[in-house]
Structure 1
Amino acid sequence: MSAPDQLLVVIDPVARRCDGESVRIAKDVLRGGAAAKVCLPDTPEEFARALARRGARRPVVIGDDRALVRAVGLLHRGGELGGEALSLVPVGPPETVRLAVSLGAPPGAVTAARAVLDGVERRLDLLVDDRGGVVVGGVRIPEGSPSPAPAAAPEDRFRPSGGGAPAPSVWGTCRSLVRTLVGPGCGRVPQMRGQRLRVEADGRLLADVDDPVEGVTVVSRDGTAEVVVRPRVAAPRWSAARTVTVSVPAGAGFRYRADAEPTGPVLSRTWTVRPAAWSLLVPAPAPAAEGG
């Protein structure tokens, strides 16, 4: 049996606890179509060792968004992310697999497992911060802020060099990706208003500490980092860049949410987009129907 038919299936412990039936179904489908070695790590350290010792086997993760981001981070730090496509079978309540589904992973155990066996690679961007952390979906500041309101983009918005997608498409993408960052209970976090942040996109100043903002979101799309700044008393500002830096004066720092993980406080953080840095196996498109 060739190497692509050999799988290392790493089952996150949270998935085993919350939906053992879906885990069992996914294992049966995978074992029916490939030589699958199954690992059942109980700790993050065991999860990391399983991936590191996979050899020629293709990595498959059964778990939620946190398991996906953990696997991407481990492969990135090991210098292996740009090689073989990563496969995911999303298992968990809908709010815990929003990111995976938004990236193209099917929500059903059978469909997702079949995509592992017969799917196609989807190349995806990645945000990497100045401490080596990875962001698959996006960043939101402050960590408990709501998604941006579905308003039209301002007329004086920044545009990426060479044109770029129409504003409604950009805003729709930003809203969709930001919604995937919302974890259970986020709605109970009080909204923080009027944060004094310095926001720079490729060195261009989008907001300064004397211009309080309600929030900032950063997502990767089509090889750029899209940043939306929502001032407290003005229309939102949008820009596209390769590098985005957010900082505050010396003091308590700011908190943010990267994918599902709250982080901080920090005084400064820089995110750089890595275009097409990794790939996820997704279902192959259905063949076009022949014309009559």
Structure 2
Amino acid sequence: MAEVATSGTSSATSDQLLVVIDPVARRADGESVRIAKDVLSAGAAGMKVCLPDDPEEFARALARRGSRRPVVIGDDRALVRAVTLLHRQRELAGCVLSLVPVGGAVSLARALGVPTGAVAAARAVLDGAERRMDLLVDDSDGVVLGALRIPPLGRTARLREAGGDGGRPWLRTCRSLVRTLVPARPPGTADAPGSGPARLRVEVDGETLVDLGQPVEGVSVMPGVPGTARVEVRPVSVGAEASPLLAEGRTVTVSGAHFRYRADAVVSGPVRTRTWEVREGAWGLTMPAR
């Protein structure tokens, strides 16, 4: 892991920064990384740059930060990795993270309110203010910063959510042709794992929202009002479209047959049961000053 110490030339902030540049960001967009480094170096009182080559070196860099404020240059996965490491070290409450989103997967950063341009994000690191946010923590010490989905979206469903086939009408034509050529599945044939309805018990603050007798198409858990999570269960439709089941609470437990789930940018599982608990104001992220 390479480390480079640099000093700023202005006094825009008195912070000493530890800038950890994720290797994925360096490969994906070296120019944005360079621009972010230049802006940070010009505005910080002191700056140390770390270039970890793997997750282990990334973890060591954060652990050795001392009194420096950590700044992650990377994508959503890098942000989740940093929060997870600080949470498991029980240092998250006393640490304010900063992020310059670089890479292909930055939808979580955008949803949290972080600017996605290198210059704007770096300036927010220097001149922004801390915002405390809730954190979902599961019973295996995993964390969720944004949304949780069961089952995880497949690529086709993600394209639909993003607004179709990405402007490629030929892809829709090919899919239509494939559907006409592939015979229908014989009755009684099992779906591929994760492709059909799930039978899950979903409990919110100890109250059952849906039980194993009701197959569901999906479960979503998202931040609600401070200190709570908003839970939406979509039952399988029979005839008319079924209305979603909604609830809010501090703890969410899902159990049933083995299931996978997508938490932020990471797919985990299979597990038979998992409980998530909301930790109010558990972590801080630097945001643009309003």
The TM-score bracket by the shorter chain reads 0.7 to 0.9
Counterpart amino acid of residue 145 in structure 2: V
Identify the match of residue 72 of structure 1 among 45, 60, 83: 83
What residue in structure 1 maps to residue 244 of structure 2?
236
Counterpart amino acid of residue 224 in structure 1: T
What residue in structure 1 maps to residue 276 of structure 2?
271
SS of the aligned residue for 1:211 comes to coil
SS of the aligned residue for 2:96 comes to coil
What residue in structure 1 maps to residue 285 of structure 2?
280
Q: Deviations for 1:143-199, whole angstroms, at most 9, x for unmatched residues?
A: 12647x9xxxxxxxxxxxxxxxxxxxxxxxxx9xxx8xxxxxxxx999733210010
Question: 1:22-37 alignment to 2 at 5 Å?
Answer: 22-34=32-44, 35-37=46-48
Q: Decide whether aligned partners of structure 1 residues 110 and 86 sit closer, same or farther in structure 2, where only a CA change above 3 A counts.
A: same
Based on CA coordinates, which of the two structures has the bigger radius of gyration?
2
What residue in structure 2 maps to residue 207 of structure 1?
210
Q: Which moved more, 1:236-245 or 1:219-228?
A: 219-228
Identify the match of residue 248 of structure 1 among 253, 256, 272: 256
Q: Deviations for 1:22-57, whole angstroms, at most 9, x for unmatched residues?
A: 000000111111111000000100000000000000
Quick one: distance in 1 between partners of 2:138 and 2:12?
Answer: 37
Counterpart amino acid of residue 16 in structure 1: R
What residue in structure 1 maps to residue 28 of structure 2?
18
Quick one: distance in 2 between partners of 1:260 and 1:243?
Answer: 21
Percent identity at matched positions?
A: 66
What residue in structure 2 maps to residue 219 of structure 1?
222
Counterpart amino acid of residue 118 in structure 2: A
Quick one: distance in 2 between partners of 1:190 and 1:22?
Answer: 40
What residue in structure 1 maps to residue 183 of structure 2?
none
Counterpart amino acid of residue 231 in structure 2: V
Q: Which runs of 5+ in 2 are unaligned?
A: 1-10, 163-174, 176-191
Quick one: distance in 2 between partners of 1:133 and 1:25?
Answer: 33
**1:261 maps to 2:266:** yes
Q: Confirm or deny: 8 A CA contact 1:3 1:56 kept in the other structure.
A: no
Quick one: distance in 1 between partners of 2:110 and 2:14?
Answer: 24
Question: 1:1-292 alignment to 2 at 5 Å?
Answer: 4-34=14-44, 35-93=46-104, 96-144=105-153, 146=157, 192-221=195-224, 222-233=226-237, 234-249=242-257, 253-285=258-290
- Write out the 4+ residue segments of structure 1 that deviate beyond 6 Å after TM superposition: 188-191
Quick one: distance in 2 between partners of 1:129 and 1:190?
Answer: 23
Q: Deviations for 1:199-222, whole angstroms, at most 9, x for unmatched residues?
A: 000111111111000000011232
What residue in structure 1 maps to residue 168 of structure 2?
none
Q: Confirm or deny: 8 A CA contact 2:12 2:126 kept in the other structure.
A: no
TM-score by length of 1: 0.79
Q: Aligned residue pairs: how many?
A: 243
Q: Confirm or deny: 8 A CA contact 1:144 1:191 kept in the other structure.
A: no
SS of the aligned residue for 1:267 comes to strand
Q: Which runs of 5+ in 1 are unaligned?
A: 150-174, 180-187, 286-292
Quick one: distance in 2 between partners of 1:65 and 1:271?
Answer: 20
Quick one: distance in 1 between partners of 2:112 and 2:92?
Answer: 16
TM-score by length of 2: 0.79
Question: How much is the aligned-residue C-alpha RMSD, in angstroms?
Answer: 2.2
